[in-house]
Amino acid sequence: MKVYQTNEIKNIAILGSSGSGKTTLAEAMLYEGGVIKRRGSVEAGNTVSDYFPVEKEYGYSVFSTVFSVEWQDRKLNFIDCPGSDDFIGGAVAALNVTDTALMLLNAQYGLEVGSINQLRYIERFNRPVLFVVNHLDNASSDYEGTVAQLKERFGNKIVPIQYPVNQGFGFNAVVDVLKMKMYRWKPEGGVPEVLEIPDEETEKANELHQALVESAAEHDDRLMEKFFDEESLSEDELRAGISAGLITRGMFPVFCVCAGKDMCVRRTLEFLGNVVPTVDRMPRVKNTEGREIAPDANGPASIFFFKTTIEPHIGQVSYFKVMSGKVREGDDLHNADRGSKERIAQIFSVAGQTRNPVGEIWAGDIGATVKLKDVRRGNTLNAVKGSDYAFDFIKYPNPKFRRAIKAVNEADAEKLSELLTRMHEEDPTWIIEQSKELKQTIVSGQGEFHLRTLKWRLENNEKLSIEYLEPKIPYRETITKEARADYRHKKQSGGAGQFGEVHLIVEPYYEGTPARDVYRFGNQEYKLNVRDTQTIDLEWGGKLVFVNCIVGGAIDARFLPAILKGVMARMEQGPLTGSYARDVRILVYDGKMHPVDSNEISFMLAGRNAFSAAFKAAGPKILEPVYDVEVSVPADYLGDVMSDLQGRRSVIMGMNSEKGYEKLSAKVPLKEMASYSTSLSSITGGRASFTMKFASYELVPADVQEKLLKAYAENQEED
């Protein structure tokens, strides 16, 4: 492959719902571009894109796949993305390093929920998009209905460039209103006949051509003037206007294909090569300091790693985009994130698992390398040590499904930990947490199928048997009223003894509320003199406020850290369920010492036990994590989804409509979200999606607290 300059490179993400035919389209593009000699199929498991064993097992994409096609003296870099919401991480990464989105739609179903979710990311990243309607050879295909759905969402920005003459089983022809020709294929597809538009299609073709001319003219002042003068544009002028409209997201062209029969794929590639903007014409990426970095081949060399795979017999394959300068084989580069030095021994242009060596690649291009020593996904390598060329622009979605994971054989625990770390590197939306609090390894992902895929890979690729368990909930404990307690620790067993006595008051802590100087318990009043206050931000959230109110030297100041240490030990294992405690103010106001037997351990134990007694008397309550949940659901299913949420102890916060979909906002306890992704899919036939994000800790209802206390007591008895 020749070396392409920045103004000859185009980076395109292929997106679409599961079943839209992305992998089949990629295969046809590779065939038309001469990269492969024979098209594979998903059914046969021999496609370029889906080459991992798990993808062959399931029959659709799990990972994004990078491939390149040389077309009309341009290099078209594609990233074929998984369609399932469970693997959205691949699409997010791809949209961050490409410049244009090609959205494939299934003509049978139009805009599906997966497509709509991906469109939200396309809009968030402000990417140009062209729509390609596939499966036009199906009896239930509905091109007009699909275009109507697009126009409902995007209005006049939707501009058909092609339409099918005879969709359905007999599909073999389209009218192209940019070329003003009809393309017709033989049953095997490939190179079409180029014909004049039939008389019966002339009126419709002229109408759509005029709409295309008007839309193209809108995005270029020079073209607009010519349009007003002559009411027409040449084909080259149309291309220029469409390209300008794509860059500003002012127009979204619509194409037709039958990817399975290789019909209209060649024409789509022609459009991508001629019209889609090159890297140098797109908005600049910002570095971690917010400075725009131009894809300048004459600038300092800088490459950003956006994807990692582990492949048999090779090891780590690292995919990168050249952000600036040129990168050559043998270059020594500096890791801006890890401080290490790395040599780029080989550079490849890739097509799935096929790697073709190249000597160098320029700014804007995408390539791969292997066997780097100390490079992780998200790292930047620079030619200039200390350069501010560092990038952190890929933000992955929050997880939605969590399970505890453990090796069936406990002896494999360390191996499992290593494999999970490696797999997170390949798919960063698999989140791994070694929870000291829950004493579980928690793996979180985008859905049940996402985690099932992880299990399949561990058991089939790595031969490691694992099991998923219901994850424990990270409850918290707190108090609802003030209480007082004291405790004397005394131990004498020959020689030096132990003695420490602590008197303290506990009360709930609320931000901004100071400690009082007078407290009353029963008939007794306690007047306190605050001498010192420590506010501790707890690792697990919330605060502990430790107030020294000791007067007259009742407890020496050197023992106060020991009292605090004892309190913290009990905060880490709350008295109710052993959960972390939070948001407590402790006022130590009195105590006693012994001139010989008092020491740090004595006051640590006295402080811990005094705090425990006061905590239990202060109206202790259990808090549970509550999440903000946003559900996008077709209006037809809104009632069922709301009923299901209400059965999960949710609080509905609001609703609003978004072009055929309802957006439902609610606060839901984490305990109730354990299998929500599976339930939502079942209720809506897979047509709804949701996001969830931690909101706060809230008091559990009394009946729930009673169940938790009972379960904890039973567990303690068993232990």
- Mean residue pLDDT of the chain comes to 93
DSSP 301: -
| Residue 225 confidence class, pLDDT cut points 50, 70, 90 | confident
Q: Is the pLDDT of residue 718 over 70?
A: no
d(CA 122, CA 14): 11
CA-based nearest residue to 581, from 509, 649, 514: 509
d(CA 606, CA 567): 9
- pLDDT tens for 247-293 read 999 999 999 999 999 999 999 999 999 999 999 999 999 999 999 99
The whole-number pLDDT of residue 276 equals 95
d(CA 522, CA 536): 30
SS3 at position 191: coil
SS3 at position 29: helix
> If you search the block for the tokens 């070396």, which residue do you land on?
3
The whole-number pLDDT of residue 576 equals 87
The whole-number pLDDT of residue 617 equals 95
d(CA 105, CA 86): 19
SS3 at position 138: coil
d(CA 426, CA 420): 10
| Residue 582 confidence class, pLDDT cut points 50, 70, 90 | very high
- pLDDT tens for 592-617 read 999 888 999 999 999 999 999 999 99
Dihedrals phi, psi of 637, to nearest 5 degrees: -105, 5
Tokens of 487: 């405790």
What class is the 285-375 domain? mainly beta
Dihedrals phi, psi of 689, to nearest 5 degrees: -145, 165
What does pTM read for this prediction? 0.87
Domain boundaries, the chain: 8-203+249-281, 285-375, 401-472, 477-619, 622-704
Tokens of 627: 């999440």
- pLDDT tens for 548-567 read 999 988 999 999 999 999 99
SS3 at position 228: helix
The number of C-alpha atoms within 13 Å of 74 and in the hemisphere containing its C-beta is: 22
Q: Which value, to the nearest 10 degrees, does the dihedral of the CA atoms of residues 18, 21, 23, 28 take? A: -170
Q: Is the pLDDT of residue 42 over 90?
A: no
User: Span 8-203+249-281: which CATH code?
Assistant: 3.40.50.300
> If you search the block for the tokens 């303290």, which residue do you land on?
504
Tokens of 419: 């494999």
Q: What is the mean pLDDT of residues 456-465?
A: 95
Detail the DSSP E strand segments found in 85-210. 100-106, 129-134, 158-160, 162-164, 173-176, 181-184, 193-195
* Bridge partners for 535 per DSSP: 545
Residues 296/7, Cβ–Cβ less than 8 Å: no
- pLDDT tens for 640-653 read 999 999 999 999 99
Q: What is the mean pLDDT of residues 381-394?
A: 90
| Residue 659 confidence class, pLDDT cut points 50, 70, 90 | low
The whole-number pLDDT of residue 235 equals 86
Considering the four listed CATH numbers 3.30.70.240, 3.40.50.12170, 3.40.50.300, 3.30.70.20, the one that applies to the domain covering 622-704 is: 3.30.70.240
- Classify domain 477-619 at the CATH topology level: Ribosomal Protein S5; domain 2 (3.30.230)
d(CA 554, CA 590): 6
Percentage of the chain exceeding pLDDT 90: 79
Dihedrals phi, psi of 519, to nearest 5 degrees: -130, 145
Q: Kind of pairing, strands 440-445 and 401-407?
A: antiparallel
Q: Is the pLDDT of residue 205 over 80?
A: yes
| Residue 494 confidence class, pLDDT cut points 50, 70, 90 | low
Do 285-375 and 401-472 share a fold?
no
CA-based nearest residue to 433, from 474, 481, 463: 474
CA-based nearest residue to 582, from 513, 536, 628, 619: 536
DSSP 695: E
Q: What is the mean pLDDT of residues 106-133?
A: 92
The whole-number pLDDT of residue 715 equals 81
d(CA 373, CA 516): 59
**CA 372 to the chain's CA centroid:** 25
Residues 107/138, Cβ–Cβ less than 8 Å: yes
Tokens of 263: 């019909």
CA-based nearest residue to 165, from 201, 195, 139, 140: 201
The whole-number pLDDT of residue 689 equals 86
| Residue 43 confidence class, pLDDT cut points 50, 70, 90 | confident
Letter for the amino acid at 346?
A: Q
Q: What is the mean pLDDT of residues 107-126?
A: 91
Percentage of the chain exceeding pLDDT 70: 99
d(CA 585, CA 657): 45
The whole-number pLDDT of residue 719 equals 57
DSSP 575: T
Tokens of 544: 């502990």
d(CA 656, CA 667): 16
Q: Is the pLDDT of residue 323 over 70?
A: yes
* Bridge partners for 27 per DSSP: none
Q: What is the mean pLDDT of residues 129-155?
A: 95
d(CA 96, CA 80): 14
User: Span 401-472: which CATH code?
Assistant: 3.30.70.870
d(CA 585, CA 535): 9
CA-based nearest residue to 242, from 179, 197, 185: 179
CA-based nearest residue to 557, from 593, 516, 529, 527: 593
